């Protein structure tokens, strides 16, 4: 079986959502998955080394230059499939899935699972992620074809399936919902007062501080105005409220930083250090603007915050998570009332309950039945 990615550069997300999935399917389910990664020709050798250092048997190939020439890459895949034999393909994203469906049409692939990470038509047109007017115009037909023609589908949220039904008339049950999960290498462990106080002291925080944290690159920092308004309200109400940004830099426009410089801290850590720092905080920030892209999404940050024991402060329209937060009382869903309510400190008992929730719902092993359905559908 092949796992195919297109134009995805190695990153933390790629490691967690692609390489880690391939490893899990092979080690825990004996799936015999082989990763084929088509990556940009720019920086190809460096990216190839990064992928193969994590998954040595991966086949990493340079894409044909020019984003508009994406379909020409079928030539690489024809050659590879002639070499590997006719196999089923899990394809990440609409371009990889379209290429896989074309291989199936010429009898070089058996079945295709569309691994859908979001609403691509909405994402391309709301945020111009491709930078190509031509692709922005074509993406709806490409996405419709993959949704309707794939043999099976992996969706990251129920909201995404509802988007398929509304936008493309999808009415099949040949899909499974698997949200973004924490990496298999992440350590899920209960916390205690001693360790929390020690980590807080090392960072310069007091035991009675209420620490709100954002973790991620500044490039992914969405909805600055919404987050800024919320943080300002919290800090104006509570002098013990502190904000920690685990990011490479802070936006210059943030009033929170300007008005409360002594209560805002910014650090950029290596990946291995992040979890221990998160565990000493109280609330993880997941605040995003209202859009179709965000409505159907499954940010892995939610799982990472929960696995650190944090209560999650989340916008009301981010995938399936607001309902999960309300059902399990593991955070705050923002609305006109909650935005102005003062947040209090979090007990160790609450943290450990949240950690247990992450283990129950947001590890790959917790989604074993879903992965079994995918493999069964591709036989």
Q: What is the pLDDT of residue 271?
A: 82
Distance, in Å, from the CA atom of 254 to the CA atom of 225, rounded to the nearest integer, reads 8
Q: What is the pLDDT of residue 217?
A: 74
Tokens of 148: 């309707």
- CA 129 to chain CA mean position, Å: 16
Q: Beta partners for 284?
A: 213, 312
Distance, in Å, from the CA atom of 21 to the CA atom of 275, rounded to the nearest integer, reads 20
Edge-to-edge strand ranges of the sheet holding 241-246? 264-267, 241-246, 210-215, 283-286, 311-314, 331-333
**Residue pair 344/210 in contact by the 8 Å Cβ criterion:** yes
- Domains defined for the chain, CATH in brackets: 2-181+365-377 (3.40.50.2000), 193-361 (3.40.50.2000)
Q: What is the pLDDT of residue 225?
A: 80
**Residue pair 24/55 in contact by the 8 Å Cβ criterion:** no
Q: What is the pLDDT of residue 66?
A: 83
Other CB atoms within 10 A of residue 324 CB: 20
Q: What is the pLDDT of residue 185?
A: 80
Q: What is the DSSP string of 294-325?
A: HHT---HHHHHHHHTTPEEEE-S-STTHHHHH
Where does residue 350 rank: exposed (0-12), middle (13-18), buried (19+ CB within 10 A)? middle
Q: What is the pLDDT of residue 301?
A: 95
Residue 272 host element (H or E): helix 271-278
Task: Identify the DSSP state of 7.
Answer: S
Distance, in Å, from the CA atom of 355 to the CA atom of 278, rounded to the nearest integer, reads 12
**Residue pair 355/307 in contact by the 8 Å Cβ criterion:** yes
**Residue pair 191/351 in contact by the 8 Å Cβ criterion:** yes
Q: What is the pLDDT of residue 219?
A: 60
Tokens of 239: 């002098």
Distance, in Å, from the CA atom of 304 to the CA atom of 285, rounded to the nearest integer, reads 11
Helix (H, G, I), strand (E, B) or coil at 87: strand
Closest listed residue to residue 1, CA positions, set 63, 62, 81, 78: 81
**Per-residue pLDDT for the chain (379 aa), expressed as one digit of tens each?**
999 999 999 998 999 999 999 999 999 999 999 999 999 999 999 999 999 999 999 999 999 988 789 999 999 999 999 999 999 999 999 999 999 999 999 999 999 999 999 999 999 999 888 888 889 999 999 999 999 999 999 999 999 999 999 999 999 999 999 999 998 888 789 999 999 999 999 999 999 999 999 998 766 545 778 888 899 999 999 999 999 999 888 877 889 999 999 999 999 888 888 999 999 999 999 999 999 999 999 999 999 999 999 999 999 999 999 999 999 999 999 986 777 789 999 999 999 999 999 999 999 999 999 999 999 999 9
């Amino acid at each position: 079986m092949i796992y195919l990615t297109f134009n995805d550069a190695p990153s933390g997300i790629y490691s967690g959502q692609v390489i880690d999935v391939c490893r899990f399917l092979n080690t825990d389910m004996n799936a015999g998955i082989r990763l084929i990664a088509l990556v940009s020709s720019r920086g190809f050798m460096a990216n190839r080394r990064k992928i193969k250092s994590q998954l040595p048997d991966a086949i990493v190939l340079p894409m044909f230059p020019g984003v508009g020439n994406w379909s020409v890459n079928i030539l690489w895949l024809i050659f590879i499939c002639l070499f590997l034999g006719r196999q089923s393909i899990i394809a990440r994203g609409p371009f990889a899935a379209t290429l896989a469906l074309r291989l199936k049409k010429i009898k070089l692939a058996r079945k295709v699972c569309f691994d859908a990470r979001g609403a691509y038509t909405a994402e391309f047109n709301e945020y111009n992620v491709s930078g190509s007017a031509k692709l922005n115009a074509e993406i709806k037909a490409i996405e419709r074809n993959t949704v309707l023609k794939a043999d099976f589908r992996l969706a990251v949220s129920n909201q995404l399936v509802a988007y398929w039904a509304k936008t493309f008339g999808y009415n099949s049950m040949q899909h499974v919902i698997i949200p973004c999960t924490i990496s298999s290498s992440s350590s899920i462990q209960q916390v205690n007062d001693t360790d929390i106080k020690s980590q807080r002291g090392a960072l310069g925080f007091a035991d009675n501080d209420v620490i709100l944290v954002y973790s991620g690159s500044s490039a992914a920092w969405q909805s600055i105005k919404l987050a800024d308004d919320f943080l300002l309200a919290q800090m104006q109400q509570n002098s013990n409220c502190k904000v920690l940004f685990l990011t490479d830099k802070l936006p210059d426009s943030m009033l929170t930083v300007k008005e409360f410089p002594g209560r805002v801290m910014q650090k950029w850590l290596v990946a291995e250090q992040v979890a221990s720092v998160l565990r000493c905080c109280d609330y993880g920030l997941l605040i995003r603007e209202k859009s179709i892209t965000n409505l159907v999404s499954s940010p892995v940050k939610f799982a990472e915050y929960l696995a650190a024991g944090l209560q999650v402060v989340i916008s009301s329209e981010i995938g399936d998570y607001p309902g999960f937060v309300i059902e399990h009382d593991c955070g705050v869903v923002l609305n006109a009332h909650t935005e102005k309510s003062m947040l209090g400190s979090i007990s160790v008992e609450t943290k450990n309950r949240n950690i247990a929730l992450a283990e129950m719902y947001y590890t790959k092993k917790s989604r074993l039945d879903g992965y079994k359905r995918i493999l069964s559908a591709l036989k």
